[in-house]
Chains A and B, each alone.
Chain A
Amino acid sequence: KAGVTQTPRYLIKTRGQQVTLSCSPISGHRSVSWYQQTPGQGLQFLFEYFSETQRNKGNFPGRFSGRQFSNSRSEMNVSTLELGDSALYLCASHIEGDPLSRELFFGEGSRLTVL
């Protein structure tokens, strides 16, 4: 069974540009979450989607947006990039419905460098 797939794995952008990151969840998982990981701020929650609806949103500026498609694949977009947006962006998927499971399955991340 394939895991969570994130593309691209590495990318370099310059300030002011925008970027789109993609996440394909594990087959059968309808929920996707995104996290930002930086050395200074650690792991911070960005968004959570279930069945194409944003269920939860972290404390990030409006430059950060996301969406989920009918096949459960998700994208996140960051516009007007700033140096501080350099980070590892992690996507995770999970199965809904089992209150005792609660396991998130993480992809290997997309490492964004903003110059």
Chain B
Amino acid sequence: AQSVTQLGSHVSVSEGALVLLRCNYSSSVPPYLFWYVQYPNQGLQLLLKYTSAATLVKGINGFEAEFKKSETSFHLTKPSAHMSDAAEYFCAVSRMDSSYKLIFGSGTRLLVRP
């Protein structure tokens, strides 16, 4: 069975500081991995995805993530936080089969202090 663990339900950073949101997955087979962002009263928007190509994945809004198989991790980073990055971030995993079903982590709310 697949699962996703996001460490830290809340992360607070200062504007301009490094953002690091942690995600670890469990999967018996190589998975697809995703990071989605959710702003208040909105749906989810894809930030980036790992689909077995490059292990360092660059996404929108300056975010990137590195797939580390040995650590079963897919942490999300951004060198310099902006106020507009304040949102909830979800890591998700899916199997490499015909289903697009996503299994989500519990989410991390990012707070950006001025």
B-binding residues in A (CB < 8 A): 4, 31, 33, 35, 42-45, 48, 55-56, 58, 90, 92, 94, 99-109
Q: Are A48 and B101 touching (Cβ within 8 A)?
A: yes
Q: Are A107 and B107 touching (Cβ within 8 A)?
A: no
Write 29 A-B pairs (CB below 8 A) sorted by A numbering: A4-B43, A31-B100, A35-B104, A42-B105, A42-B107, A43-B90, A43-B104, A43-B107, A44-B104, A45-B102, A45-B103, A48-B99, A48-B101, A55-B98, A56-B101, A92-B43, A94-B100, A99-B96, A100-B51, A101-B51, A102-B51, A102-B94, A102-B100, A103-B46, A103-B49, A104-B46, A106-B43, A108-B43, A109-B43
Q: For B45, list chain A residues within 8 Å (CB).
A: 106
Q: Are B43 and A100 touching (Cβ within 8 A)?
A: no
Q: For B34, list chain A residues within 8 Å (CB).
A: 102
Q: For A108, list chain B residues within 8 Å (CB).
A: 41-43
Which of the residues A33, A103, A107 comes within 8 Å of B101, measured between beta carbons? A33
A-B pairs, top 6 by smallest CB distance, nearest first, are A106-B43, A43-B104, A106-B44, A108-B43, A100-B51, A56-B99
Q: For A90, list chain B residues within 8 Å (CB).
A: 43-44
Determine the distance from Cα of A91 to Cα of B44 in the docked complex, in whole angstroms.
Answer: 10
Nearest A residue (CB) for B43: A106
A-binding residues in B (CB < 8 A): 32, 34, 36, 41-46, 49, 51, 53, 90, 92, 94, 96, 98-107
Q: For B106, list chain A residues within 8 Å (CB).
A: 42
For the complex formed, measure the closest distance between the CB of A93 and the CB atoms of chain B, giving whole angstroms. 10
Q: Are A100 and B44 touching (Cβ within 8 A)?
A: no
Nearest B residue (CB) for A6: B43
Q: For A106, list chain B residues within 8 Å (CB).
A: 36, 43-45
Determine the distance from Cα of A94 to Cα of B49 in the docked complex, in whole angstroms.
Answer: 14
